[in-house]
Amino acid sequence: DAGVTQSPTHLIKTRGQQVTLRCSPKSGHDTVSWYQQALGQGPQFIFQYYEEEERQRGNFPDRFSGHQFPNYSSELNVNALLLGDSALYLCASSYKPGQGFYEQYFGPGTRLTVT
């Protein structure tokens, strides 16, 4: 049973560029959430997708956007990269809210470095 997978593992970008990160959820899950983890901090919620729509969003600017595909996989896009966007980006998969299952399972993350 494959767990949550993310690609790429590492990425180096220059300020002002755009980046796309990818995530495939654990088998059976239909919901994907994205978190940003800055060095030495706890993860911060970016947004959550299910049924191919953004369902809720954390305190992140519009430069952060996403998409969910019919097979439940998801992308996180960040435009106009800033140095402060350097972080570990974590994808978590789960069942849709309201079904009585609250656990979120995390992938290994994508380490983004902005220079």
Q: Which residue has the tokens 């380490």?
A: 111
Contact status: 41 vs another protein (CB under 8 A): yes
Least gap, CB of 6 to another protein (angstroms): 8
Contact status: 24 vs another protein (CB under 8 A): no
Least gap, CB of 111 to another protein (angstroms): 8
Per DSSP bridges, beta strands 74-78 and 87-94 are: unpaired
Closest CA to 80 of 15, 11, 26, 21: 15
Query: Is 85 in contact with 106 (CB distance < 8 Å)?
Result: no
Residue from 25, 43, 68, 81 touching another protein (CB under 8 A): that is: 43
Residue 60 backbone dihedrals phi, psi, to 5 degrees = -125, 145
For another protein, the closer CB: 14 or 100: 100
Calpha distance 32→47 (Å, rounded):
9
Rg (CA), the chain: 13
Contact status: 76 vs another protein (CB under 8 A): no
Least gap, CB of 81 to another protein (angstroms): 22
Residues that bind another protein (CB under 8 A): 4, 6, 31, 33, 35, 40-45, 48, 55-56, 58, 90, 92, 97-98, 102-109
